[in-house]
Amino acid sequence: MPHPTTLPVAPICFEPRYHTRVWGGRRLETTLGRVLPNDQPYGESWELADRPDCQSLVTTGPLAGCTLNELWLQHRRAVFGERLAHHPSPRFPLLIKVLDCGGDLSIQVHPPAAIAPTLGGEPKSEMWYFVGVEPGAQLYAGLRRGVTREEFARALEAGSLADCVCALEPARGDSLMVPSGRLHALGAGLLVFEIQQNSDTTYRVFDWNRVGLDGQPRQLHVKESLQCIDFADFEPAIHLAAAGNPLAECDHFRVDRRTDATADLAPGLRLIMAIDPLTWAGVQIPAGSVALWPAGLPPATPIRGGAWLEITI
């Protein structure tokens, strides 16, 4: 990688990686203008990923072709800054996606940090920012108030689990924090930006009795789920668009909504996800895309064109 002083004063952009899902759709194409590989239902676009089986590639400037893992391991101080130079993670600590929910996702849970190692998984807390919401679209998050573990188990056996989970109806611009241990499911008709810990561990507790794209029933993880669900997590509230920043905050990340009228030019790393098509130092950032301003460059130039999510590690 070139020395940071030789880099062009411009953001680093990344190539999205697309994933088919049984619940996916085509709005990555119809709404975001992406060119999808084929006519299958695409549910996820991984915009920034450092996973063993999925690496983001730099698409701009002299760093083009570098993987996110190479940036993190070999050039961490220059790209990500002094504050993250000694971060303990061997991989970039976040995973950022766009989700197109053409159908309901499974009712699922991610393992808390204290439990994940015993199950052979990785902990994951995440947040959702709702970009598109079709009329009547809803999500599930947390339990309905008063539901006990015993009632939950009986509903699971009876196939009526949805009756135990809190249903919420978001609007465009709303957001929701989903800490590990929170039972949840996105519903059909939602287009979502997701910022999460770098983990791909999901335990499905109920999948609407459907089959996968291969025609076979999808694997459930009932035993693991029951160990992970927070049975004291009742009826969480959506963070309304009008409520302001931060949209979400936990030990791993903070997410704020910014516009060209509210941003500053502070030095150091800046990581953004475009809500609207943006222009940053002459580089076009399409909606849904992630861009990074290296810490080793002078303070970032202004972003123009609309709104974005500002992500702090």
CA of residue 182 relative to chain centroid, distance: 15
pLDDT for position 6: 61
Closest alpha carbon to 109 in 28, 185, 162: 185
Q: What are the tens digits of pLDDT across the range 279-295?
A: 999 999 999 999 999 99
pLDDT-derived band at 2, boundaries 50, 70, 90: low
Distance, CA of 20 to CA of 39 (rounded, Å): 10
Residue matched to tokens 């053409």: 102
Distance, CA of 45 to CA of 19 (rounded, Å): 6
Residue matched to tokens 């287009």: 191
Distance, CA of 43 to CA of 309 (rounded, Å): 21
Q: Which of 21, 27, 34, 204 is catalytic?
A: 204
Residue matched to tokens 């949840």: 184
Q: What are the tens digits of pLDDT across the range 33-77?
A: 999 999 999 999 999 999 999 999 999 988 899 999 999 999 999
Domain spans of the chain?
Answer: 15-239
pLDDT-derived band at 266, boundaries 50, 70, 90: confident
Q: What are the tens digits of pLDDT across the range 208-237?
A: 888 888 888 889 999 999 999 999 999 999
**204: annotated active-site residue:** yes
Decide yes or no: CATH 2.160.10.10 for domain 15-239. Answer: no
pLDDT for position 214: 87
Distance, CA of 222 to CA of 139 (rounded, Å): 20
pLDDT for position 3: 53
Distance, CA of 46 to CA of 30 (rounded, Å): 17
Residue 101: both structure tokens together? 């929910």
Report the 10 Å Cβ neighbour count for 271.
21
**Three-state helix/strand/coil letters over 160-201:** CHHHHEEEECCCCCCEEEECCCCCEEECCCEEEEEEEECCCC
Contact assessment for residue 17 and residue 51, using Cβ atoms and an 8 Å cutoff: no
Report the 10 Å Cβ neighbour count for 2.
12
Distance, CA of 198 to CA of 96 (rounded, Å): 8
